[in-house]
Amino acid sequence: MSDHHTRILKIVSFPLISEVVPGSAADTAGLLPGDEIVAIDGEVPTDVIRWQLLVDEADPILSLQRGGLELEIEVQKGAGEPLGAQVEASIFDRVRTCDNHCEFCFIYQLPKGMRRSLYLKDDDYRLSFLYGNFTTLTRFTEADLERVVSERLSPLYVSIHSTNPDLRSRMLKNPRGGYSLRWLRALLDFGIEIHGQIVVCPGINDGKELDDTLLGVLDQFPELQSVAVVPLGVSDYNTEAAMRPHTEQEARSVLEIVDLWQERYMKTVGHRLVYAADEYYLLAGEPFPKAETYGDFAMHEDGIGMARAFGLEFTSETDSTIGTRSGFFQWVDGAPPEGYRAIRSSQGSNRAGELLSDSNCASSETNLLGIKPRRDAPIAILTGEYGAQVLTPLIAELDRNDVRIIEVKNKFFGGNIKVTGLMAGGDVQTALDSEPEGHRYLLPDVCLNNGKFLDGVSVEELPKLVEIVPTNGADLRLALEARRTNESSGPVL
């Protein structure tokens, strides 16, 4: 386990400098990687949010520890000028863990033996702001409200599940679940932008209960920016008998309820407000709504409108993207401290169409020479089962016989887990074992954290060389066109 992983799980008393930009104000002042910042202008920052606010001031004085010595450095810079120093981790004190015991929690459904950091359940509003994590607000306090409002930590993402207090308490297995949505009302009263989520569990909060919840949203929280309705994920490691996947008819019923409430919200609050996850349309065998239905794709990160956005990116002649989903576990040890909105330098940083040198190649065990496939070699796209459903019609429209899709079955999690972001390295290895040498294999970066899959398998351990492509339609299109321009689509590993 890396130091970064460890710091997520224990108390990190002070921010630790991980990188200093050459020529920056921090570099000029003499800051070094490894410096432990004790205070900034006398204040001890507890997270990267506060850190950024403090170092944004003019001429901050940093008290630090270096090799057992205590130093004080004044950094000469103007207000708003970048400090030029990166910190390790995003939370310096303890991550606020979740004290709910939801039967539907995916963390409880993980196989044993994964990285320790992946088993951490958080319910921390700071991670909601930074990474788009959903919080139930059951551990939210008056002090938290004061900070969110004073520092305008917006948007936040709140798990609703039900507006019936008794049902919400039962679903969260926490008596505070029935009244913690009062904090949602308070946040909205102070103008904080909130996106909600409802995880629908068949037989529990679907049907009439889902209908009542959407009525409760209109009655109590009409200022919400959006509400995502997503299906329950059930892995082979689920131990809760009441938790099961949706049937096709149940998925269709959810879509009917969402459609009905979209019309009602349009008439009352002026926008659709509620959206069904793409998985529901795939489960029900229904076509995706038109692009304009999703507005600005505000819930793209939660799997709302991703398929439609991907199609628009793929068929467009520009390289603009609507968004890239970071993946279920990406905040834990893959995203930078600045949050999921920041660019990750470790993966997906090479835009498709950039020419790469041989130094970007790494050899796998079965291709010891690391020979890159020819640019005109046949292409295979690795993707999950749902991804294959989305990609198949898009690839068919290209009318190219040199492009195919490799559908990776998720045996690592099993159950109804079919999204590309949860592909495991072992399953990708199995899919590639029988594939021919010399082809170009495109792997979406959404399933990787620092070059590794969720099961700890590294890209270098795959039996074939792969090209890592940013997970959006524009970059995939450019990767497929690279054969004609003699340019690479991304790092070849």
Supply 312's token pair: 């628009």
Report the interhelical angle of 385-396 vs 306-315 (nearest 10°): 30
Specify the DSSP class assigned to residue 145: H
Segments making up each domain of the chain, as ranges: 3-88, 106-304, 358-485
Beta pairing, strands 16-20 & 85-88: antiparallel
Q: What is the reported pTM?
A: 0.84
The β-bridge partners of 231 are 200
Topology classification of domain 106-304: TIM Barrel (3.20.20)
Tens of pLDDT along the chain (493 residues) come to 334 433 344 444 789 999 999 999 999 999 999 999 999 999 999 999 999 999 999 999 999 999 999 999 999 999 999 999 999 888 998 889 999 999 999 999 999 888 777 888 899 999 999 888 999 999 999 999 999 999 999 999 999 999 999 999 999 999 999 999 999 999 999 999 999 999 999 999 999 999 999 999 999 999 999 999 999 999 999 999 999 999 999 999 999 999 999 999 999 999 999 999 999 999 999 999 998 898 888 777 778 899 999 999 998 866 677 755 454 444 444 445 545 344 433 333 333 333 233 333 333 433 434 457 777 899 999 999 999 999 999 999 999 999 999 999 999 999 999 999 999 999 999 999 999 999 999 999 999 888 889 899 999 999 999 999 998 999 999 999 886 444 445 555 5
State the Cα–Cα distance between residues 16 and 45, nearest whole angstrom.
11
| Torsion (CA) 133, 136, 141, 142 in degrees, nearest 10 | 90
Phi, psi (rounded to 5 degrees) for 239: -115, 5
Report the interhelical angle of 473-485 vs 306-315 (nearest 10°): 30
Cis-peptide, bond into residue 155, ω within 30° of zero: yes
Start-to-end Cα distance in the chain: 22
Name the one residue in this structure whose structure tokens are 């050899």.
363
CATH entry, 3-88, from 3.30.540.10, 2.30.42.10, 1.10.510.10, 3.30.460.80: 2.30.42.10
Supply 97's token pair: 């863990």
Phi, psi (rounded to 5 degrees) for 313: -65, -40
Phi, psi (rounded to 5 degrees) for 331: -70, -30
